[in-house]
Structure formats: C-alpha cells, structure tokens
C-alpha cells in the first residue's frame, strides 16, 4: 500500500473514532452501511463511464473517488487494507 493510501485509511479511521463536525467521511458513517455501499456503487459506475469516453484525467479522478469510498466501506466493516493486500499477495503467488 502506498503512503497516501495508508494515510487516507488512517484519516478515515480517525474520523470514525473521533467524529469531526462537517466531515464528509463522518456523514457517510452517520448515514450507515446502505449509504456507503450506494456510494461505492455510484463511484464504480462513474469509473466505467469515464473509461468509456472521457479523458484519462477523468478516469484518474473517478478511480480516486472509488478508492476513497472503498476505504470508507472497509473501515465501516473493520477490514483493513492490509487484509486486502494479503489476499492480493496470496493470489499473486498462485
């Protein structure tokens, strides 16, 4: 995991443990799992749309949005990026 992804996850965990008024991340946690899952789905669709006809920069932006929302979902579930990384490493060795 790159440093920025680790920092992002740490910030998300911090918001979960220490809510800050006005934080978008906290608004997602307050809305609950259904809203977080909905946002992941929306962002995934936006990545697909971007890939199918928009400039690469738009693909980058939408992918960043998707990764952020996936990290929020992981934090909501108590799953760490390191667990995902371990699964990817296990699959790579197959």
Residue 58 neighbours by CB distance under 10 Å: 15
Full-model pTM: 0.92
Q: What is the pLDDT of residues 7-25, one digit of tens each?
A: 999 999 999 999 999 999 9
Tally of structural domains, the chain:
1
The whole-angstrom separation of Cα 63 and Cα 46 is: 8
Q: What is the pLDDT of residues 41-66, one digit of tens each?
A: 999 999 999 999 999 999 999 999 99
Query: Residue 70 contacts by C-beta under 8 Å, 6 or more apart in sequence?
Result: 40
Report whether 56 contacts 50 (CB < 8 A).
Answer: no
CATH label of the domain that carries residue 20: 1.10.287.1080
Q: Domain limits at 26?
A: 3-93
């Amino acid at each position: 995991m790159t440093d920025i992804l680790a920092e992002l996850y740490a910030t998300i965990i911090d918001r979960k443990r220490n809510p800050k008024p006005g934080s978008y991340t906290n608004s997602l946690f307050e809305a609950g799992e259904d809203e977080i899952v909905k946002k992941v789905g929306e962002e995934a669709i936006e990545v697909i749309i971007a890939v199918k006809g928009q400039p690469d920069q738009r693909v980058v932006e939408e992918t960043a949005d998707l990764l952020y929302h996936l990290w929020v979902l992981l934090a909501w579930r108590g799953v760490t990026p390191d667990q995902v990384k371990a699964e990817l490493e296990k699959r790579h060795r197959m």
